Chains A and B, each alone.
Chain A
Amino acid sequence: MSNLLETKDLTVTFGGLNANDHVDIEVTQGSFVGLIGPNGAGKTTFIDAITGFVPTSAGSAIFNGHDLSELKPHERAQLGLVRTFQSLELFEDLSVRDNLLVAAHPTSWYTLLLDVLRMRQSNDEIEKRIEWALEVAGLTGLEEELPTDLPHGQRKLVGVARALAAQPNLVLLDEPAAGLDTAESNALGGHLRGLLDHDVTVFLIDHDMGLVLSVCDYIYVMDFGKIIAAGTPEEVRTNPEVVAAYLGEEAGEAQARSAEELRGMSDTAGE
């Protein structure tokens, strides 16, 4: 299988601090890749860098055959490289549905003309995609709500749904399960695995180790801006360096065990 996203020596510097330090990450088409690491490791910065929200100081990123370095954030999104934000960043005064429609409607130079003449710009495909995005995020029935009226966990999911509405090839999720309880988190994990059937490749950052270990095919571990380990959930969990740097001895054991259980659950949920 081909690489959908490939970074080489990607480096991001904030005034002397290397928030990303020569990061090499590969995401193959149709896979489910995770990125974990302690707070401040540089995970969000990595997403910011490949989606064009912070400038990179060295290295390259190639997405679906396109060199990303010269592309603006919206151009990357239009290529199918779509992200969510850790810090919500919703359109607070648009309804959930309108939040999704902003991402779903393509525009061209004559869009304004169509608007003014009240020509229909939606089609069945867009409607279906929106319905599907709402379903994956578990937001069906909440279309007309304002994001501010939803609990924090669901607001996060509005961000996920909006990303899906943009018709992504690769969706980069920045801690989507933060604020969800275990059951909700598991349900989300199941739904996200289901994305693979829709030709959406997933790149997941999350703090919920159970979730990451259970849904990902391949996991990268980042600390101090560097990739310190990579491998299957099995390999990562038992990697002594990871355990030392990130999980901590006892916590690692406990997490690993609960992950084991979850894996069984979400596998069935995913089918």
Chain B
Amino acid sequence: MELLFGLFAGLASGSVFALLGAGLVIAYRGSGVINFAHGSVAAYAAFTWDELRDMPGPTGIGNEGGSIYLPWFDPIPEWGFLKALHINNLPVEIHIMTDPPAWLAMIITLMMSAFIGLLMHFLVFRPLRNSPMLAKVVGSVGIMLYLQAVALLNFGNSNRADDGFWVFNSTSEPITNFIGMDKNLPRSTPYLAVAALIIGFGAWALYRYTRFGLATRAADENEKGATLLGYSPQFLAGLNWVISSVLAGLAGVIFLHKTMPNQLNLYVVSALAAALVGSLTSIPGAIAGGLGLGAFASMGVSATSYEWWPDWLPVDGVRAFAPVLVVILVLYFRGHKLPIRGTVGLGRQPRAPATKHPVVGVGVGVVIALVMSNIFISKWESTLTMTLVAILAMLSLVVLLGFLGQISLVQWTLAGISSFVLIRLASDGVKVRPMDFFVVTGPGWPDPLAALGGVVAAVLLGLLIGIPALRIRGVQLAVVTLASIVAIEDLLMRNRPVMGTAAHTMNPTPKPEWFGQYVGALDENSNQTDYWKFTLFAIIVTALAGLFVVNLRRGVTGRRFLAIRSNERAAAAAGVNVARTKMLGFGVSSFLAGLAGVLIAYKMPMVTSEFFSPFVGLAMIAFVYLGGITTVWGAVLGGMLVGGGLLSEFGSLHFEGITQAYINAVGGIGLIVNAILTSGEGISLLVTNQAKALVASMRGTDTQENHADEIVSTEKESV
């Protein structure tokens, strides 16, 4: 009975998965892109709608309303001489009218969605149309990061609650005693399900029976087909982006009374699951998949209310795990151990030259870091250690994404797991500081051991995620790992029975001591953060990790990683155990991520799951791509950009309190530009190439001779 009711209740969220899934299918058929930003398009529309209608939620937050915010931010700070110069800033806010009627707000919102669709087409996917698949994935992740961040900058990070409108309304009386089950079903649920079916049917008919739909399907097979029907393939692609985005906007608005706008970003995970049920090509398949997934997840949630349900499987975890399960099952059984003959790969990969003279490079880096540390100049201490953490996390990405070519988006979450497990293992139920409100119970392990426990947990989880990667590749692996992020967060990080109080509160790490030496960032005596011993510890760990990655790349293992990245079939034919080597890559990468987690636990006075949010992880990926995903110097460069250095200094000047959003927005743009301009090779290789060309032209030698890459010579200065 519980389960049956759960099934019906789940049709509400199922409908939004279905509509978003249908939009993903349309975009995929229109231009062959899996759009990771699809949920963020819906979120931006939901914000726009909410802002136009301005219905302050229970918190009473809200201004006049009736304004729209264009999907960008004003990069020109309002201070100092810039203000005096009266520079005409980029317009962002446009006031339409106070209190617009629902139908007008709807039209404006959908126009905003269409506008975003056009922007995505013209600024990102059209320039990328002939690029490798990898660049397209990276581009769409960039949009996701950008839109999410811009929404935060334009609409603020306060929670919004919207009562909804018309039949999609959370305030109307529920359907009491729903089909005799003695339970109340929200009145909007059946309307949502019907809306999904009607809109889905309409979209299906549009593609099935109109000339435009026929042309899209023809273009899907080959570009000439569309041309014969009198459509330019690029026009079709653009129109499909508009339709896809308008559907996303519509889904976001009608579902808004059940959620908050910023939550829609990650609905893309369930939407992807729905679209995959329809093989990414069938609209009815996606609609059925979405409704089914919603019902399935909701039944799982209902099941948690039974007596026999184990405590350690929390409600949110079950909900988040449902799409992961669907995605993995669908993809795993459609996948192959080795790609079959004639499979198109991800296309050309960024070059991954071996770093020469790493000891010199790392030595210079260490010296600079030491100079910056508060042994000398304490002002930069926090920036420095944050940079080191970021470098470490990015090294983990260099190994897995750069060398092995496995697009895993989950590594930052593994760092989080390491932090959480460390805290849980090191805690003993005694307050760490008098000011702490909560205490975490635990076995109270001494610290090198607790840290080891954290790292081992990260590695084990990383290996577990690596298993699907044996059969799921490329973009699809990105989908699986994105889904895993949400699942891990809800299933493990916020799981109270597993993590103790650490799951929902902000927790300090119990005093970390390694062999009698205190290595935490918080000085026990002065109660100052950024204690020098921690900085030294972080410098040592990061430097060793850097050397480790350089040597891995220069050795037999690195060559095999690159071989697998390039061609799995050929690697197997050459005697490489592809499965084991992939697992090794996942293990090594997760180990490095786990180390980053340890540093974070020692650094932060409090560790929260927000710090490990999916968008921080995506920002890490954005910046390591920007720095150079295939080299250690790329990680160093990326770490300096994201970890505190220039960007956050600048960001904090005019986006008080939401620096991270500013960083993410810039990271998103950087990711897109990088994908378009350098096929994702990043700044470090760009700089090296330019420098080499310059040197060659000065010497008058043939540039061809300098084909072998040397990174260190140019990058050393930038450390």
Contacts and interface: CB of A to CB of B under 8 A. Distances in A.
B554 A93 contact: no
Nearest to B578: A74
B131 interface: no
Interface string B348-389: 110110000000000000000000000000000000000000
A102 B555 contact: no
A101 B570 contact: no
Given A74-B578, A103-B575, A114-B556, A94 B562 contact: yes
B573 A101 contact: no
A94 B575 contact: no
Contacts of A78: 575
Given A73-B338, A89-B567, A115 B556 contact: yes
B636 to A, nearest CB: 19
B575 A74 contact: yes
Given A89-B567, A94-B563, A102-B563, A116 B573 contact: no
A90 interface: yes
A97 to B, nearest CB: 10
B278 to A, nearest CB: 22
Nearest to A82: B573
Contact of B560 (A44, A73, A107): A107
A102 B571 contact: yes
Contacts of A93: 348-349, 351-352, 562, 565-566
A157 to B, nearest CB: 15
Contacts of B566: 90-94
Interface string B562-586: 1101110111111111100000100
A115 B554 CA distance: 7
B551 interface: yes
Contact of B574 (A77, A111, A117, A118): A77
A84 B565 CA distance: 19
B84 interface: no
B551 A118 contact: yes
A121 B555 contact: yes
A87 interface: yes
Contacts of B555: 111-112, 114-116, 118, 121
B689 interface: no
B557 A90 contact: no
Given A89-B567, A115-B552, A48 B341 contact: yes
Contacts of B348: 92-93
B716 interface: no
B588 interface: yes
A74 B576 CA distance: 6
Contacts of B559: 94, 98, 101-102, 105
Contact of B567 (A52, A91, A116): A91
Nearest to A159: B570
Contacts of B558: 115
B569 to A, nearest CB: 6
A116 B552 contact: yes
Nearest to B558: A115
Given A78-B575, A91-B563, A162-B574, A53 B557 contact: no
Contacts of B560: 102, 107
B514 interface: no
Nearest to B547: A116
Interface in B316-354: 338, 340-342, 348-349, 351-352
A83 interface: yes
B342 A91 contact: no
A220 to B, nearest CB: 21
B548 interface: yes
Contacts of A87: 341-342
Given A102-B563, A112-B588, A116-B548, A89 B556 contact: no
Given A92-B566, A93-B566, A115-B551, A77 B556 contact: no
A29 to B, nearest CB: 21
A166 interface: yes
Nearest to B352: A93
Given A115-B551, A115-B555, A90 B570 contact: yes
B569 A166 contact: no
Interface string A71-82: 011100110001
A104 B193 CA distance: 59
Nearest to A80: B575
Contacts, number: 118
A181 interface: no
Interface string B168-196: 00000000000000000000000000000
B176 to A, nearest CB: 54
Nearest to A51: B573
Q: How big is chain B's contact interface, by range?
A: 35 or more
A193 to B, nearest CB: 23
A85 interface: yes
A19 B186 CA distance: 58
B669 to A, nearest CB: 27
A116 B544 CA distance: 10
B578 A112 contact: no
Given A91-B567, A93-B566, A103 B574 contact: yes
B90 interface: no
A44 to B, nearest CB: 8
Interface string B523-559: 0000000000000000000000000100110111111
B570 A85 contact: yes
A166 B559 CA distance: 15
Nearest to B584: A112
B556 A53 contact: no
A197 interface: no
B87 interface: no
B708 interface: yes
A54 B548 CA distance: 38
Contact of A73 (B349, B351, B573, B584): B573
Contacts of B556: 101, 105, 107, 111, 114-115, 121
A230 to B, nearest CB: 26
Contact of B557 (A72, A111, A163): A111
A250 interface: no
A105 B563 CA distance: 13
A144 interface: yes
A73 B571 CA distance: 10
Contacts of B548: 116
A166 B357 CA distance: 30
B474 to A, nearest CB: 16
B569 A53 contact: yes
Contacts of A53: 338, 341, 569, 572-573
Interface string A121-158: 10000000000000000000000100000000000000
Contacts of B567: 89-92
Given A72-B572, A73-B572, A82-B575, 19 more contacts: A48-B341, A83-B573, A91-B562, A91-B563, A93-B351, A93-B352, A93-B562, A94-B563, A98-B562, A102-B560, A107-B557, A107-B577, A111-B557, A116-B548, A116-B551, A116-B555, A118-B551, A118-B554, A144-B707
Interface of A: 44, 48, 51-54, 72-74, 77-78, 82-85, 87, 89-94, 98, 101-103, 105, 107, 111-112, 114-118, 121, 144, 162-163, 166
Instruction: Pick the 5 closest A-B CB pairs, nearest first.
Output: A115-B555, A103-B574, A77-B575, A73-B572, A91-B566
29 contacts: A51-B573, A52-B572, A53-B338, A53-B569, A53-B573, A72-B577, A74-B571, A77-B574, A83-B573, A84-B573, A85-B573, A89-B569, A91-B570, A93-B565, A93-B566, A94-B559, A101-B559, A102-B571, A103-B574, A105-B559, A107-B556, A107-B557, A112-B552, A115-B554, A121-B555, A144-B707, A163-B574, A166-B574, A166-B575
